[in-house]
Amino acid sequence: MIVLSHKKECCGCTACLSVCPRQCIRMETDEEGFLYPVTDPEHCTDCGLCERVCPCLHPGVPQEPIQCYASIHRKEEIRLESSSGGLFTALAEETIRNGGVVFGARFDREFRVMHDYTETLEGLSAFRGSKYVQSDMRNSFRQAEQFLKEGREVLFSGVSCQIAGLKAFLRRDYQHLITLDILCHGVASPAVWASFLHPYKTAQEPERLTQVTFRDKQNGWNQYDFCLRYSEKEIRFNRKTNPYMAGYFANLYLRPSCHACPRRGFSAGSDLTLGDCWGIEKRPPQSYCADDKGVSLVMAHTPKGVERMRQIHASVCYTPIDYRPMESYNPAIRHSPVPHPEREQFFIRWRQQEAFGQIVASLTRPTLTKRLETMCTPLLKALGIKGFTKYLRK
């Protein structure tokens, strides 16, 4: 029986619940808004399966990709709707063309994030774009297994702990399963997300909210512009004015397990990993980022992953690149984020229903040292003075 001694020990992937032969595990929301498994002791026979499939109890071994590429989808409109270079769509289109099924994270009508599947090309648009919130896996592991048993090709996308959970749940290799993990800084609390969004969906906004985009590219790929679209208007935030993303990047409300991620370093066992190809402007093929519409970093870990990249060559431009230099631009590959020192304070004030923007602004305000550093660094650099920052920090 799964007994959690610390919240860090569960990533919420639902492998335990999905594998339970007596179906006596359910997910319950905790006081931070994350889902955790709860076992019904009356029906549990202590068969141990739930523990055997848990990706947190059995962390993976970090490795390096066998092949790495910089890549972009050939269709500009797809890249604009995607967070990086649109490679998810290219890979998913191939599966749909093969008569297969694609799983990924989408918004429901209330803009909650959940895993779902599609069997059509049109259906892929809901999965495009990063949602910086933990997705509710619901019944997706069992649904994927059902499709695999029917002989259908399945492309399953998710963050690394979700892929590790799926693979452990399946307990066997399927030749027609392609697993795709999305590089992940960490996943945020669904309840915090809902509380941030609430005022934009209700009485204050008489129009219906129709679209939420975390990475709008109107002003460029790495701007993290956040956009809420209504029938007649839009509300736009940039990285600095968006309290939700400010709190996300400051690690105020990530899932506790993300701070000790059991599946960093490509240890999920996936065929492919996708991320942002940060640093591409400094090395060939720089032409991919000339239009600032996003470039994907694609890492293949299995011959199946390499083969799938070859199969989609008509829809994408791709160039093999050295993996090592790219790793240094993307801390999420190797390192778990450190929790914000005031994380607990955030949740206390959030539960007291203090205004969202106010809590985040007060907890993420830069210290005097940091502000001095930001103000003086360009001038000191120009004057060739070194060591001032170190002096300040002392």
Binding site for ligand FAD (CB under 6 A): 82-89, 104-105, 113, 127-133, 135, 157-159, 182-185, 187, 274-276, 296, 330, 332
Separation of alpha carbons 285 and 53, rounded Å = 41
Helices (H), the chain: 15-19, 49-52, 76-81, 87-97, 140-149, 160-170, 190-201, 243-249, 303-311, 323-327, 343-351, 356-364, 368-383, 388-393
Separation of alpha carbons 187 and 271, rounded Å = 21
Residue closest to ligand FAD when measured from CB atoms: 104
| Sign of torsion over alpha carbons 45, 46, 51, 52 | negative
Nearer to ligand FAD, 302 or 389 (CB): 302
Query: In the complex, what is the shortest distance from the CB of residue 362 to ligand FAD, in angstroms, rounded to a whole number?
Result: 25
Query: In the complex, what is the shortest distance from the CB of residue 58 to ligand FAD, in angstroms, rounded to a whole number?
Result: 21
Nearer to ligand FAD, 278 or 350 (CB): 278
Query: In the complex, what is the shortest distance from the CB of residue 326 to ligand FAD, in angstroms, rounded to a whole number?
Result: 10
Query: In the complex, what is the shortest distance from the CB of residue 79 to ligand FAD, in angstroms, rounded to a whole number?
Result: 7
Query: In the complex, what is the shortest distance from the CB of residue 132 to ligand FAD, in angstroms, rounded to a whole number?
Result: 5
Query: In the complex, what is the shortest distance from the CB of residue 85 to ligand FAD, in angstroms, rounded to a whole number?
Result: 5
Nearer to ligand FAD, 98 or 222 (CB): 222
**Considering just the CA atoms, what is the radius of gyration of the chain in Å?**
22
Nearer to ligand FAD, 39 or 251 (CB): 251
CA distances from 317 to 179, 201, 320, 373 (A): 21, 39, 10, 41
Nearer to ligand FAD, 3 or 290 (CB): 290
Separation of alpha carbons 342 and 253, rounded Å = 10
Query: In the complex, what is the shortest distance from the CB of residue 7 to ligand FAD, in angstroms, rounded to a whole number?
Result: 18
- Sequence-distant (6+) residues with CB within 8 A of 263 are 11, 55, 59, 60, 160, 161, 163, 164
Nearer to ligand FAD, 39 or 214 (CB): 214
Query: In the complex, what is the shortest distance from the CB of residue 177 to ligand FAD, in angstroms, rounded to a whole number?
Result: 15
DSSP string over 178-239: EEEEE--S--B-HHHHHHHHHHHHSTT--SPEEEEEEEE-TT-GGG-EEEEEESS-EEEE-T
CA distances from 369 to 182, 246, 338, 372, 389 (A): 35, 19, 20, 5, 9
Nearer to ligand FAD, 255 or 349 (CB): 255
Query: In the complex, what is the shortest distance from the CB of residue 336 to ligand FAD, in angstroms, rounded to a whole number?
Result: 11
Nearer to ligand FAD, 197 or 349 (CB): 197
Residue that the structure tokens 């030749």 belong to: 175
Nearer to ligand FAD, 148 or 261 (CB): 261
Six token digits for residue 300: 């293949």
Separation of alpha carbons 366 and 10, rounded Å = 32
